[in-house]
Structure 1
């Protein structure tokens, strides 16, 4: 990479690593120090680190990242990762969030990379891919979680893959009792009737809980078969590594469903829809996994239209709090 791009990568490191690396670079020679000063003028201004220190896994959001929140711009991976983490930790919280795990957008990027020249060709492909990301879950057993959120960017298009009940080996029926709030909502206090398969919309006395992969995509033209296959392969090896036994994650035992979800009406809001799908699930999750899953009326389109400004205000508020 060129000098400016290298500086951007250094600047993106969490403190105090960034300052240490820049200091080392500046001590190399007077020429480098001069170039560093001129290149630093092009560096993005860091606004926040989230979550705040001393929490682990912090994400740095810069003023440059905020530019992608302008109308018509595509969301970048920093905004996607930041807002998903915020939803889980603070934005929604509650029981569903506690039973969920959110992967970084880089997870699928690493998982889907082609085999590199130096990688052992005698090792099965699924194990090679798992090797690249195995440390990402060293502090968590994903099979103890009910939901895994995986943001995917394929051919410059964002969509959400949601793995449900990865630790469950077969479907089972569970008793279900609609909450009083859900019954009131169904009585006409909401402007939009919640989908029947969700917590707020379900009126059944029993619901189906099953291990499966839900794909939530705001464009119907996208293809997901290869993505879901790689995720099943990952789960296969992760189970073997974590549990020490064999388990088959096949299309029969771990079904895929392309959910019917609200669709985008332009060419730039796919990342916003991904974030809104995640938020809607945390607030009003699918409780009945009879396939196919229909979520057409999950949320009004205005929620997505408001999201750019909502995220911008959130980042600036956190910036004031962290700067104070």
Structure 2
């Protein structure tokens, strides 16, 4: 600014010294001015966005900035004229022939215009080309107040390309006074629309979430209804003329029935302990049914020991003898029960097969019995029981671990057929109608790995009197003690039967 002011003062002094000569010969001098060399680059959004924001407020086409390489060298000259370009807000005034004719006030006014920084004056004279380009745009302006004649000056670009560029820039809405307010209004309107859209989307999400929950609940209710129909449970609204009987949720052996199993008294427990305390390991405590049970074999019934095969065979013989006594006594409902020992099935399934066990039944006729009990030592680690019911023509496999053994049932059915051909001289009657049943978990199950032998004996005891299973794993400790007492005294406490020597 100081530089421009000094340059202007030097021009004023030079013009005063040559006032007389300049006034007669000088034509309208023109002063070249330049805009600041750095022109900020306009960065605009795409025209589509502008049309969305200002399409209703400003009908003019959006400004598209030119290629940076196409921007011309923008230079302006100040020339007198009456019709100043309306795109420049402030007119520039200058002396027509000399600065010496200005009054003090006009001179100060001209200094203020120069000091404002709107234009810069170049001290060198215009070239012929510049004068020629500006000659078409000069015009006279109205005189200022006073005797001195002052001409208003117009700022004109030195080239048509620059003038066209300035025209397009001046029409840019970004330079208008209402641009900021329009932008604020557009942004606020856009924010309002987005907020309304967000609220609408939230409402839609809430609506569909409620629909989804309702659909899930309806599906769950439908599945529960179908499941209830499959389980044959009564509906919520019962028919007053039809009272359906619901199927029990627990199997018969799991019903909370009060246990009717006998429990040893204190005197009976004391008797057992005394017999065991006075005997050595190999001392025979009981000898009946051609079987001798030693102390070492009997104490397998204590704690959680695995049962010895001698204990199992002896107990099954006691069941068979009780059946004989009942039949002899002609008791009502007494079953005729035959039992095999634990060595029968291994002998049948190995070696010569039926020929190896053919003589085991030479003194009895199995087909005269109602029930045949066969102990199975599965893989020599697990005790199971097969009950052959000749009345119902069934072979049932009882496993306290819920196992199945079709191979065992097939072998025993073939044994019955061979036994019928050998003893009765004919095939097993209606062999194709016999049913093989794996009881699985429909019978009481053990919950440890040591009571399978006790379960076998208890299965056999209940089946031998055609009784319903009413025992469970919780009864095993008492059953073990009772079996020890029953073996030592040769009596079965469940029926109060005292057995003979046998």
TM-score of the superposition, structure 1-length normalised? 0.58
Cα deviations by residue, 1:262-317 (Å, 9 ceiling, x for unpaired): 001110101101111111112334xxxxxxxxx6x543444433121112223333
Write the deviation string for residues 134-192 of structure 1: whole angstroms up to 9, x where unpaired: 11111111011111000110121001100011xxxxxxxxxxxxxxxxxxxxxxxxxxx
Q: Which runs of 5+ in 2 are unaligned?
A: 1-279, 328-332, 491-498
1:149 to 361, 365, 373: 373
1:43: Cα distance to partner?
7.3
| Residues 75-114 of structure 1: pairs in structure 2 closer than 5 A | 75-90=307-322, 94-95=326-327, 98-113=335-350
2:287 is equivalent to residue 49 of structure 1:
yes
- Which of the pair has the greater relative contact order for Cα pairs under 8 Å at 6+ separation? 1
8 Å contact from structure 1 (residues 102, 149) kept in 2 = yes
Indicate yes or no: 2:459 matched with 1:277.
yes
Q: Distance in 1 between matches of 2:430 and 2:282?
A: 43
Does the alignment pair 1:235 with 2:460?
no
CA offset at residue 98 of structure 1? 5.0
Structure 1 residues 256 and 277, CA gap change in structure 2 (3 angstroms)? same
- On the 8 A contact 1:87/1:93 being kept in 2, the answer is no
Q: Report the more deviating stretch, 93-102 or 264-273.
A: 93-102
1:66 to 279, 298, 318: 298
Distance 1:298 1:130, change over 3 A: same
* CA root-mean-square deviation: 2.8
Q: Secondary structure at the match of 1:244?
A: coil
Partner of residue 266, structure 1 = 448
Alignment partners' CA distance in 2, 1:93 and 1:305: 29
- Report the CA distance between 1:67 and its aligned residue: 2.5
Is the contact between residue 235 and residue 249 of structure 1 (CA under 8 Å) also seen in structure 2? Answer: no
Q: For 1:247 and 1:315, how far apart are their aligned partners in 2?
A: 36
**Alignment correspondent of 1:19:** none
Tell me if structure 2 keeps the 8 A contact 1:148–1:164: yes
List alignment gaps of at least 5 residues for structure 1.
1-41, 52-57, 116-127, 166-208, 286-294
Q: Tell me the distance in 1 between the aligned counterparts of 2:363 and 2:335.
A: 15
Distance 1:243 1:316, change over 3 A: closer
Corresponding residue of 1:133: 357
Secondary structure (helix, strand or coil) at the match of 1:74 reads coil
**How has the CA–CA distance of structure 1 residues 135 and 261 changed in structure 2, closer, same or farther, with 3 Å as cutoff?**
same
For 1:143 and 1:283, locate their aligned partners in 2 and report how far apart those are by CA, in whole Å.
Answer: 19
Runs ≥4 in structure 1, deviation > 4 angstroms? 95-98
- Aligned twin of 2:407: 226
> How many residue pairs get matched?
206
Q: Corresponding residue for 1:159?
A: 384
Show CA shifts across 1:30-54 (max 9, x none).
xxxxxxxxxxxx9722111114xxx
Q: Which residue of 1 aligns with 2:481?
A: 309
Q: Is the radius of gyration larger for structure 1 or structure 2?
A: 2
